Amino acid sequence: MSTNSMSGAVDRFGPKLPPINLLSMAEWYYVLEYRKHRKLKEDSIQMDEQELEGAIQDKGLNAPRLTPKDIDAQIVFEQYHVFENTTTTVCCLHLRNGYTVTGESAAVSMENFDKEIGRDVARKNAREKIWALEGYRLKQTMFMTRKGEQQ
């Protein structure tokens, strides 16, 4: 059920908010993405991953898997670039094997741009890619090991 008055208006998704323009939505996305994944510092993400690893260990789940330490061990160094007159930040993580992964972030308006937040979000996005790459590598190693045992 929905009502047309803005005060107390609801629709099937809950309280109805006044319309916002696309720039405001994008700016909110930037802020929410930062809060969701970075909270305040990298430590909060590490703690979340460490808590998950603790829960896995507590349950005795000891099959081959990746840990946050495995992911971080792949990173040799990192570089950042903010394109001139933009809010676009790119993080390039250099991995042990010479491969690189990149992550990006951008704010819609210069007024909302914060260099530290941009770097944090770009690094998080680049680091997330390592999980997928290392997951594939581990799965391939397990597959090849099993295949070799069957021959």
pLDDT in 10s for each residue of the chain, 151 residues: 444 444 455 444 444 444 444 445 555 555 555 555 544 445 555 557 778 888 888 888 888 889 889 999 999 999 999 999 999 999 999 999 999 999 999 999 999 999 999 999 999 999 999 999 999 999 999 999 988 887 7
Residue 105: inside a domain, yes or no? yes
Rounded to whole angstroms, the Cα distance separating 9 from 15 reads: 6
The pLDDT, as a whole number, for residue 16 is: 45
Residue 27: inside a domain, yes or no? yes
Residue 136: inside a domain, yes or no? yes
Residue 3: inside a domain, yes or no? no
What's the pTM? Answer: 0.65
Rounded to whole angstroms, the Cα distance separating 113 from 125 reads: 17
Alpha helices in 1-151 (DSSP H): 22-38, 42-58, 68-74, 115-150
Which domain covers residue 105, as residue numbers? 22-150
Residue 9: inside a domain, yes or no? no
Residue 6: inside a domain, yes or no? no
**Number of other residues whose CB lies within 10 A of the CB of residue 126:** 21
Q: What is the DSSP letter of 19?
A: P
Residue 112: inside a domain, yes or no? yes
Rounded to whole angstroms, the Cα distance separating 98 from 121 reads: 23
CA-derived radius of gyration, the chain:
21
Residue 106: inside a domain, yes or no? yes
Number of structural domains in the chain: 1
